[in-house]
Structure 1
Amino acid sequence: MNLGRYLRRTAGHQPDAEAVVCGRVRLTYAELDDHSDRLAAALCDLGLSRGERVATLADNRAELVITEMALYKAGLTRAPINSRLGVSEVAHLLAETDARVLLTESEHLGTARTAVPGTGVETVIGYDGPSDLGPGYAETLAGTERRPVDVDCDENGAAVLHFTSGSTGKLKAAVQTYGNRLALMRKSVMSADTRVGPGDRQILAGPVTHASGMPLMGIFFAGGCALVLPRWDAEEFLAAIEHERATHAFVVPTMVNTVLALPGARDYDLSTLRRLVYGAAPMSPARIRAAWDLFGPVLAQGYGCGETTSGVLFLSTEDHRRALEGEDEELLLSCGRPLAEAEVAVVDDRGEPVPDGEVGEIAVRGPDVVPRYHNEPELTARTFRDGWFLTGDLARRRADGYVFIVDRKKDMIVSGGFNIYAVEVEAALHQHPGVHEAAVVGVPDDQWGEAVKAVVVPRDGAALTEPGLIAFCAEHLARMKKPRSVDFVTALPHNPNGKIDRRAIRDRYWAGAGRLVN
């Protein structure tokens, strides 16, 4: 098998159709196929063979997309490094992956210059031109004669080392195989909600090296166009929908929040948008209603992670409509039902399914679930059991298959013997019109062991008070679940993937405590 064959086929069918737009760069399918062939050939000429690792360190740019396609064609393993990581983390990942080649850009040359020594990196290719570290990308392509590269790959071979942080903050790599990536492509085109075909144009708003890049192969298989934003900016996102006539978009809830906060959001023509998929974190019912009002009846939600190679649960646009029109309002709290080939169960600590309505851990199996973590046998043994991946997310299942997440195992607060789920309290806080963003953590308490603490970013101009917010939550939650204290801040910490970093928030309150709760 070789995933690059699907790009080559689409390029033969519609060579002049746009495949990638990023900033000022616009590539047709013929150009994407040509450039990726040249880069694949150049990497093979460096002596790289099937399964060897190639790392990237760059912000969103068209060359990252070309690189991904080239690595598929050459049968190489991609090791994407988040461009927000520090020098020591980059050095660790380069050594951990045994990468022989690094492709980077001028903004990150300083990091590369410090991180590369002592690793196995032999060649550094600069996307913006030659440097003291190695040759330039354009020069490398120009100096390589184009030839179709089609290395036969084993479906169990590693295609991507997808790095993600765990509850300890340690970076770990889910080994996404070529079979996993093929399953991802299949599920991307199996549903009308996610298929991006000829004439369709999907905005990828986050880092394409991670979750936002997951749809790429499905887009190229079906013949659509990937609109890659160089960086996140709410106004540029809306302008891209209008000017590029975008039909689809993938965002995280934090991005939706920034769009909703824009005074001029309704000044843009968003009429071409048919599907806005959000995921990677929960979004409160109040925010969903506001987004539906702004964007129209186009919302859908996906639930998944690096270990499941993108989404495995999906809440469709029709599900959103039913909820928002009062037919089944509870669906606004759901992350959907199983998508495509994935099997999803809610299990107890022994791995046995719990009865519908009871809380357990989400477990997933199927062709899109990775087989292991890279160089982490103990973590692999704890997390993958009898073919099932244990997500760490606590949830309940409804009789008709809809799944409702209540919290992460590590974020559950035990106060006075009661289990309190941070997500549930955050959902109540987000119903208050004066709350822009909120995080809930457990903090040390002599009487209760842990007490519920809300850390809140107010909306501009909102006059929030601690007693007022606590009283508001008491109207929407059981008395034991309401926050016992509220801190107001100007911003919450986020991890490199844009999610609220609860661990960083919690650590501030537990510093110096004799007992840690995680």
Structure 2
Amino acid sequence: MRSGINLGDLLERAVDLDPDAMALHCGDLSESYAEFFSKVRRLASSLGARGLGPGDRVCVLSPNCHRIVELYWALVLIGASAVPLEPRLTADEINYIVEATRPKVVVASNWEALDLDVSFEYLEIATEPGDGGRLDLDGLCMGIEVLDLKVPVMADSPALIMYTAAVTGRPRGAVLTHRNLIAQVSQTGEVFGLTAKDVHGLLLPLSHTFGAYLMFVAMARGVPTMVVSNFDADEVVRRIDQGRISFFAEFAPMGQRILDAAAEAQVTLAGKLRVVTGLEVPETIARYQEAGVDFYCLYGQTETAGLVCAARVEAGSIVSNYSGRALSISRLSLRDDQGEIVSPGEPGELWVRGDCVVNSYWPDEPTNLTEDGWLKTGDLLSSQPHGELYFYGRVGARDLIKPGGLNVYPAEVEQVLLRHPRVAAALVFGTPDPTWREKVVAVVAVIDDPAGAEAELISYATQNLASFKRPKVIVVDQGLLVDGHVDAEHIRAKYANL
């Protein structure tokens, strides 16, 4: 048998180093590493007693809470995988993921609002008591003896299946292994200098790769995590002021709102908040610097199990597309469309090699890997002296839209709009937005009288797309089609400032 370690080994190491250190805060709840590990082992034993084991999947639909953190770690111990479900997905989108992964268990915070229609049996578990009399995560553990877990969890065992933005119209589940996440525990923790003196503010949802992987990174390194169930800038500022958050990751406009709340409450961030990282506009980054807080710009994707580059932004050198430098155990290369390395300063597709690279989508579709193991990310970046990287967009098309740091691919939105009986053609793209950085815009041509079509399609999109994917603006333009083809360049230019 091949020797190695898994994520559970890293958690147990953190417990051994300081069992009395704080591991988790959530509301008024605080747990030491010893207390947290005891709960995780009991939950793992309970799930194991119900037949869950290596290779099984558990779909999870819930806001952030301490029970979900415990569940993710319990699945790590028994070699099963969490399949996070983004709460803003529609019923059809959720059913697609659940049917594709065929979990043994579905855990939800509000079963009454969940409308599952799948072709197999599964165990329903609520996150807490009182949801229609269903078994809940606390009740699951009642009377269960904690077992001496000897499950053979290997480094290449799946830990998370994260469904990505739909490049071709349907999302795909990237399979993040223990090996992928252990690599991130090393390089991500190193770049931010995370130590047990920090407290990680978990502001991003555990259903997002960035939120889930940073939780694993922090807790595996002995860094306590403050779980923020529903983002509230005033509450985050109170926790910072209490010394209970010193580091967090965010997507616009969260960072701006925290700064505004701190100013309103007259809370000084210097000396309390050490590091902020995320996707932000230069004005917000400058405000953090002025407040005495280090801001780190970054780049990563689900297929790299998190970040592959990041760096602290120097005062006076803020640009909107700065992405940092390569992390310590990620090998990066910029290539042209022939696979040749581009010259310094010239944009090229980012290729990544390393243990953080995800090899497959669920169940067995390979990611975009070359024969010698490089992941072709599909993103254009350029490199400056000293390895400074700058992001330019997707290769070959301006297709990826990032409202508030979330990924939206036009193909998925266009396919939904084209299912409407009035729509003859659709073009979806992003335009600048002062709050969210980008917003989703759709231009459509209809087959009949355009009157009332825009309002009708907005309503249709609301019913059929997750909120972050919905076009904020839908324009009916019968000139979208020229000789039967969409004139994309003309339409993008025409509505670039919408």
RCO higher in 1 or 2 (8 Å CA, sep ≥ 6)?
2
1:477 is aligned to none
Q: Is 1:26 matched with 2:30?
A: yes
Amino acid across the alignment from 2:49:
D
8 A contact 1:102–1:123 mirrored in 2: yes
1:56 is aligned to 60
TM-score by length of 2: 0.78
1:385 is aligned to 370
2:447 is aligned to none
73 and 183 in structure 1: CA distance in 2 versus 1, 3 angstrom threshold? same
8 A contact 2:253–2:435 mirrored in 1: no
SS at match of 1:165: coil
412 and 5 in structure 1: CA distance in 2 versus 1, 3 angstrom threshold? closer
Provide, for residues 273-292 of structure 1, a one-character-per-residue CA deviation record: whole Å limited to 9, x for no partner. 3532322x4x3323321222
8 A contact 2:270–2:293 mirrored in 1: no
2:414 is aligned to none
261 and 43 in structure 1: CA distance in 2 versus 1, 3 angstrom threshold? same
8 A contact 1:204–1:251 mirrored in 2: no
Cα distance in 2 between the residues matched to 1:47 and 1:274: 44
Q: CA deviation at 1:269?
A: 3.4
Q: Is 1:302 matched with 2:287?
A: no
Q: CA deviation at 1:184?
A: 1.5
Q: Is 1:173 matched with 2:165?
A: no
Amino acid across the alignment from 2:298:
G
Provide, for residues 336-392 of structure 1, a one-character-per-residue CA deviation record: whole Å limited to 9, x for no partner. 110021111111122222111112222211100100211473xx46x3223222222
| Equivalent runs, 1:41-440 vs 2, <5 Å | 41-105=45-109, 108-112=110-114, 114-115=115-116, 117-129=117-129, 131-132=131-132, 134-168=134-168, 170-191=170-191, 193-195=192-194, 197-210=195-208, 211-262=210-261, 264-265=263-264, 267-279=266-278, 281=279, 283-294=280-291, 296-316=292-312, 320-321=313-314, 324-325=315-316, 329=317, 333-375=321-363, 377=365, 380=366, 383-386=368-371, 387-409=373-395, 412=398
Cα distance in 1 between the residues matched to 2:391 and 2:207: 26
Q: CA deviation at 1:422?
A: 9.6
8 A contact 1:202–1:225 mirrored in 2: yes
1:513 is aligned to 480
8 A contact 1:202–1:249 mirrored in 2: yes
8 A contact 1:315–1:334 mirrored in 2: no
Provide, for residues 289-332 of structure 1, a one-character-per-residue CA deviation record: whole Å limited to 9, x for no partner. 122223x142112211111011101112xxx23xx24xxx3666
Cα distance in 2 between the residues matched to 1:359 and 1:509: 35
Q: CA deviation at 1:333?
A: 4.2
Which runs of 5 or more residues in structure 1 are unaligned? 414-420, 427-438, 442-449, 460-492
Q: CA deviation at 1:335?
A: 0.6
SS at match of 1:278: strand
Cα distance in 2 between the residues matched to 1:222 and 1:204: 15
Cα distance in 1 between the residues matched to 2:78 and 2:91: 29
Amino acid across the alignment from 2:146:
R
Cα distance in 2 between the residues matched to 1:302 and 1:63: 29
Cα distance in 1 between the residues matched to 2:184 and 2:478: 41
Amino acid across the alignment from 2:79:
G
172 and 70 in structure 1: CA distance in 2 versus 1, 3 angstrom threshold? same
1:416 is aligned to none
8 A contact 2:269–2:293 mirrored in 1: no
CA-atom RMSD, angstroms?
3.3
8 A contact 1:203–1:226 mirrored in 2: yes
Q: CA deviation at 1:132?
A: 4.7
SS at match of 1:27: strand
Cα distance in 2 between the residues matched to 1:241 and 1:304: 26
8 A contact 2:65–2:229 mirrored in 1: yes
497 and 288 in structure 1: CA distance in 2 versus 1, 3 angstrom threshold? farther
8 A contact 1:246–1:272 mirrored in 2: no
Provide, for residues 164-203 of structure 1, a one-character-per-residue CA deviation record: whole Å limited to 9, x for no partner. 2134553211111121111112223334x242x3232111
Q: CA deviation at 1:143?
A: 2.4
8 A contact 2:241–2:267 mirrored in 1: yes
What's the % identity of the aligned pairs?
A: 24
SS at match of 1:384: coil
2:450 is aligned to none
Q: Which moved more, 1:506-515 or 1:214-223?
A: 506-515
Cα distance in 1 between the residues matched to 2:359 and 2:283: 38
